[in-house]
């Protein structure tokens, strides 16, 4: 609930205003707090954490997304340990692709996948990788996938899946949608697997990560505790942002004008930020903002009377005949996510505003998902409960037009000297949790360095 509060009793006189209380906004608030900054944060929803929460259904704890904490940035990893302490555990749980009832390593290992396709498939994959691909710099995701894997593996496992996830043809998607997962896959890696067998563990496998003992929401709770809940305002949508063309001057929050004296960090969706500006941006900027779109997620949570369904962190489904893209089982991340003898699985269906999956009633949505479950080939025990959750703006849709459009908008918003953008939705980039923390730390460190330099001159 929004209430007008005094800000943190820190040395700096002007507070930093943060728009959005998802993980990105909380990360900025956390590092600002560490540097002695006063902060005030406004979140439109009645809760903090955005799409990174942990919910309870019966006795099962379920994350809103297949979240994991990767050890890929020293600053971020240190922050995770500092915030969670002994509740942060290292997990070894590789994921798999389920294709025609068979399990295949994820991220894709070429030989492992090719063998599942039979002798003809194996020969075809080897032949495609022997002949060099002439595309030096792929300009679409389809070109990148074919370059890395060849047309057979790419077509069966990557292109269909990506089209389900993003709602665009693979030749309309930017290569950045790969998120760095398609590197290092060459004929050499295929031959290493062929010669060394199971001992040929390739570097791109993604089965080790950190995870909180009682769900990803523990990270959100730890951030809130550190920052101070009284400085984090929920049910507080920003409805107008005034400016003079150079600086943000004020915010309207539930009809109340909040003057801005310090810096503003926005993690709300980039098109929404443009829409809030008063005076409005020029029409070409507003048109560009309206052309950007996000992919939503609809989750179906199925509670089961069995101990576990699989040993994988996540299962991916590239076949278009199966409506969901991914299944994750929280208990495989931490045994404390469900009692002994029971478990829950979460099925993700990406969709947009006008697609049937987003518009369905909860009952119809759950019925349709349950009807599709037998096609997975998984052995499932008796169902004890079914639930659904909507997650808005889960992924920025990185089609070929989005990169240039987003760059133009970021350049325009960067012209405001006291405005900084952050987060996946706020910068229209495909970012992971460690990226969010790294960006927030860099911002806070730069500010501290700048202020130290200013005070010493």
Summarize pLDDT for 13-30 with one digit per residue, the tens: 689 999 999 999 999 999
pLDDT of residue 33: 94
3 pLDDT above the threshold of 60: no
DSSP states of 52-115: --EEEETTEEEESS---B-S--HHHHHHHHHHHGGGEEEEE--EEEEETTEEEEESPPHHHHHH
Domain count across the chain: 3
Tell me: do 305 and 353 sit in the same domain. Answer: yes
148 pLDDT above the threshold of 50: yes
112 pLDDT above the threshold of 90: no
The domain boundary, picked from 170, 204, 238, lies at: 204
The domain boundary, picked from 396, 414, 446, lies at: 396
Confidence band of 7 (pLDDT split at 50, 70, 90) = very low
76 pLDDT above the threshold of 60: yes
pLDDT of residue 107: 65
Note whether 12 and 263 are within 8 A (CB): no
Tell me: do 348 and 280 sit in the same domain. Answer: no
* Closest to 264 (Cα-Cα) out of 435, 437, 32: 32
What does the pLDDT average to over 96-108? 79
What does the pLDDT average to over 300-309? 97
297 pLDDT above the threshold of 90: yes
Q: What pTM was estimated for this model as a whole? A: 0.89
Of the given ranges (154-168, 189-203, 255-269, 347-361), which has the lowest mean pLDDT? 189-203
- Return the higher-pLDDT residue of 129 and 303: 303
The domain boundary, picked from 204, 237, 254, lies at: 204
Tokens read off for 46 = 């009645």
Helix, strand, coil in percent for the chain, rounding step 5? 40, 25, 35
Confidence band of 177 (pLDDT split at 50, 70, 90) = confident
pLDDT of residue 103: 82
pLDDT of residue 198: 43
Summarize pLDDT for 190-248 with one digit per residue, the tens: 444 444 444 444 444 457 899 999 999 999 999 999 999 999 999 999 999 999 999 99
Note whether 263 and 444 are within 8 A (CB): no
453 pLDDT above the threshold of 70: no
- Count each helix (H run) and each strand (E run) in the chain, helices first: 16, 20
98 pLDDT above the threshold of 80: yes
105 pLDDT above the threshold of 90: no
Summarize pLDDT for 255-292 with one digit per residue, the tens: 899 999 899 999 999 999 999 999 999 999 999 999 99
- Return the higher-pLDDT residue of 447 and 250: 250
Tell me: do 428 and 288 sit in the same domain. Answer: yes
19/21 Cα distance (integer angstroms): 7
183 pLDDT above the threshold of 90: no
Tell me: do 322 and 348 sit in the same domain. Answer: yes
What does the pLDDT average to over 341-367? 96
Tell me: do 298 and 359 sit in the same domain. Answer: yes
The answer as to whether 70 is a domain residue is no
Average pLDDT, the chain: 88
Tell me: do 380 and 250 sit in the same domain. Answer: no
366/51 Cα distance (integer angstroms): 20
Tell me: do 366 and 236 sit in the same domain. Answer: no
The CA-atom distances, in angstroms, between 271 and each of 158, 174, 304, 406 are 29, 19, 40, 9
Tell me: do 391 and 376 sit in the same domain. Answer: yes
* Closest to 435 (Cα-Cα) out of 144, 179, 218: 179
Bridge-based pairing of strands 88-92 and 208-212 is antiparallel
Q: Report the chain's C-alpha Rg in angstroms.
A: 23
CATH number of the domain where residue 450 is located: 3.50.50.60
Tell me: do 312 and 372 sit in the same domain. Answer: yes
Tell me: do 316 and 392 sit in the same domain. Answer: yes
Note whether 212 and 336 are within 8 A (CB): no
Q: Which domain holds residue 340?
A: 294-396
Confidence band of 158 (pLDDT split at 50, 70, 90) = confident
What does the pLDDT average to over 87-95? 93
């Amino acid at each position: 609930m929004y209430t007008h509060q005094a800000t943190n009793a820190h040395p700096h006189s002007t507070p930093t205003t943060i728009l959005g209380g998802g993980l990105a906004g909380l990360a900025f608030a956390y590092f600002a707090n560490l540097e002695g900054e006063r902060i005030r944060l406004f979140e439109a929803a009645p809760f903090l954490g955005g799409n990174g929460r942990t919910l309870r259904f019966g006795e099962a704890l379920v994350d809103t997304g297949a979240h994991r904490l990767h050890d890929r940035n020293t600053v971020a990893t240190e922050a995770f340990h500092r915030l969670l302490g002994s509740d942060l555990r290292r997990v070894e749980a590789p994921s798999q692709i389920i294709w025609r009832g068979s399990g295949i390593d994820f991220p894709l290992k070429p030989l492992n996948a090719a063998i599942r396709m039979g002798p003809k498939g194996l020969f075809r994959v080897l032949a495609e990788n022997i002949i060099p691909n002439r595309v030096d710099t792929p300009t679409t995701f389809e070109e990148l996938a074919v370059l890395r894997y060849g047309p057979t593996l790419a077509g069966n496992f990557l292109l269909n899946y990506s089209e389900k996830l993003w709602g665009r043809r693979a030749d309309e998607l930017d290569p950045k949608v790969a998120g760095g997962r398609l590197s290092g896959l060459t004929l050499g890696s295929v031959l290493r697997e062929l010669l060394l067998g199971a001992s040929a563990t390739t570097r791109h496998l993604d089965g080790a990560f950190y995870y909180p003992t009682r769900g990803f929401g523990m990270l959100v709770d730890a951030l809130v505790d550190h920052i101070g809940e009284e400085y984090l305002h929920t049910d507080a949508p920003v409805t107008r942002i005034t400016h003079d063309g150079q600086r943000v001057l004020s915010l309207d929050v539930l009809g109340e004008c909040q003057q801005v004296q310090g810096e503003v960090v926005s993690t709300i969706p980039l098109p929404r930020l443009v829409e809030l500006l008063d005076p409005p941006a020029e029409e070409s900027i507003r048109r560009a903002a309206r052309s950007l779109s996000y992919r939503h997620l609809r989750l179906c949570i199925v509670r089961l009377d069995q101990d576990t369904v699989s040993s994988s962190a996540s299962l991916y489904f590239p076949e278009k005949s199966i409506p969901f893209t991914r299944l994750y089982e929280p208990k495989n991340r931490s045994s404390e996510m469900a009692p002994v003898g029971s478990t829950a699985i979460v099925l993700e269906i990406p969709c947009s505003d006008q697609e049937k999956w987003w518009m369905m009633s909860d009952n119809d949505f759950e019925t349709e998902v349950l009807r599709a479950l037998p096609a997975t080939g998984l052995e499932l025990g008796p169902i004890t409960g079914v639930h659904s959750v909507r997650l808005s703006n889960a992924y920025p849709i990185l089609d070929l037009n989005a990169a240039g459009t987003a760059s133009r908008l970021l350049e325009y918003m960067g012209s405001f000297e006291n405005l900084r953008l952050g987060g996946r939705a706020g910068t229209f980039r495909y970012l992971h949790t460690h990226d969010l923390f790294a960006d927030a730390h860099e911002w806070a460190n730069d500010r501290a360095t700048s202020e130290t330099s200013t005070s010493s001159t």
